[in-house]
Structure 1
Amino acid sequence: VSASIYLAHRREEAYPDPERFRPERFLDRTFSPFEFLPFGGGARRCLGAAFAAFEMRVVLATLVRAARFRLHGDPAIRVVARNAVVGPSRPIQLALE
């Protein structure tokens, strides 16, 4: 038995319009450990979660500061389940502007 991260991240109470890509929603408020589970939860939480989050912030800040990106190709990307994780239905291609 395990929690469904996919379903937790689609709860209307926590994420209004959950199917829409809105990264700014994370600037509006701080989510509890029961609402946002990017690295699992409880006793089985990823050991590298803190480092991964820090590394992601550094890389993204560097990229966003240095360049502009545009979604290349068809913008319709579906979420598909792959065993215990979910991901995009196809590779996401970005064009550098």
Structure 2
Amino acid sequence: MSKDTKEALGPDGLPGHDYFLEAVNHIDEAVANNTIAAGAAKGIVFSLVETLGAMVGDPDLPNHLKSGYMGALDLAVELEAKLAKLK
């Protein structure tokens, strides 16, 4: 995670997509550095994909947030596919 101080939620009550991007990148780095078990990484990424999928599917989600969340979802799905190739 970034060392910058950030508000937990935006003015609309939702987290910014950058939190999800940082989470995906953190897990990717942890796997690359062997500081997390592959099974744990798979579980965390699965949860991120499910959460982002639910958020993107919300018809009340503002478009500016939806596009950011979709980018984070795409990155998480790519990492999920990468992790699926691990033993």
Instruction: Give the TM-score of the pair, scaled to structure 2.
Output: 0.31
Tell me which protein shows more helix as a share of its residues: 2
Q: Of the two, which has the highest radius of gyration?
A: 1
Tell me which protein shows more strand as a share of its residues: 1
